[in-house]
Amino acid sequence: MLIIRLATENDIPAVAHFAELLHGKLNSLPMDKRVIAHKIQRSCISVEQDIISPYNELYFFVMEDTEKQSIVGCAAIDACVGLKPFYAFRIAQFEHISHEQNFRRKVKLLELNTELDGSTELCSLYLLPEYRKKNNGKLLSLSRLMFMAIFPKRFSDRVFADIRGYSEEDEDPPFWKHVIKPFMPFDFMEAETLTGLEKRQFIIDLMPKFPICVNLLPPSAQAAIGRSHPTTASAKTMLERQGFHFHDYVSIFDAGPTVMSFINNIHIMNERRFVMVTGVNIPPAHTHTLLSQKKYLLATTTNSFRVALEEAQIEDDEVIISSESAKNLGVDVGDTLCVFNI
């Protein structure tokens, strides 16, 4: 059985291994075990705090295969980015018109800004390749939204996720090569690594201060703006189905799309239900359909947050779950679960 739970210090080696597998391709999981340890320790502190409004909290989650007792994925929520400025390009669009020549031309500009400061970011999503099947990716990604649905005061009104930008296999992104590289003394991976280590002064010092005219860029760079990498397309689609949309912000190095939503517009926030466990059903042997054909995200509502995607029988405000679900979620009859029908 797969469950999502809050990370502990015992999970640091596994998450650090994920960072090594990524080779710096995800700046929120840098190849630095000390930084990974700090993130998880920060998460442990954050979850124990009484939050009136978000500030600098981080919530880090891991996916555990309970049968193998191994960590197979991770994800995180940065409650309020911008303590150190969060940079993005905003796409501005204008139309030049010449009535004399009977001619119109749309002009796009990329403007460096920190307008996303103060927002909540969904980040650090990684799942081992052998587990990228069935609904495992959906469970890992949506578990963060379940946490937000249970503890909304911990988060900002606006929520966003940076989606990895387009690149050919084993090549730097075309946007980086044609637009950003001329301003930088190092390669793409080092820029991503420095950002992940929160060493962002170079962005202030070296990034162009003036708007970049998209119309003057090579076609491959133009085509990459707002385009997601093939490996992240499903993650983007999943968020869009939850009410996230592209709002003309892109990442500063690979021009990947930033999708966002107001927290109250996220579907899980409006459709999740709180129910009481009234039965723990021990399924009969050799029966594949344990309780019903419907699968739900089942999440505990305490600080020892856990989520599973399992079959359940729900009627009104009551739920019956399997004995395996009860064991792995750490709940019993009388406890409350937050549920969402996927």
Strands 120-127 and 158-162 come out as parallel
**Sign of torsion over alpha carbons 217, 123, 143, 243:** negative
Q: Tokens 């191994």 map to which residue? A: 70
Label residues 107-140 b or e (16+ Cβ within 10 Å = b): ebbbebbeebeebbbbbbbbbbeebeeeebbbbb
Output the furthest CA–CA distance in the chain (Å, rounded): 82
Instruction: Decide: 173 and 165 in contact? Cβ < 8 Å.
Output: yes
Where helices occur in the chain by DSSP H, the ranges are 12-22, 33-48, 136-150, 174-175, 188-196, 201-206, 219-224, 233-240, 267-271, 323-329
SS3 assignment, position 216: helix
Secondary structure string (H, E, C) spanning 160-194: EEECCECCCCCCCCHHHHHHHHHHCCCCHHHHHHH
Instruction: Decide: 1 and 328 in contact? Cβ < 8 Å.
Output: yes
Report helix angle 136-150 to 233-240, nearest 10: 40
Instruction: Decide: 216 and 48 in contact? Cβ < 8 Å.
Output: no
SS3 assignment, position 148: helix
Q: Which two tokens stand for residue 317?
A: 């405000």
Of the listed 17, 23, 99, 229, which one is catalytic? 229
Query: Of the candidates 72, 122, 74, which has an alpha carbon nearest to the alpha carbon of residue 266?
Result: 122
Query: Of the candidates 304, 258, 259, which has an alpha carbon nearest to the alpha carbon of residue 147?
Result: 304
User: Which amino acid does the sequence have at 67?
Assistant: E
Please indicate whether residue 245 is annotated as part of the active site: no
User: Which amino acid does the sequence have at 196?
Assistant: G
List, by residue number, the catalytic residues.
Answer: 229
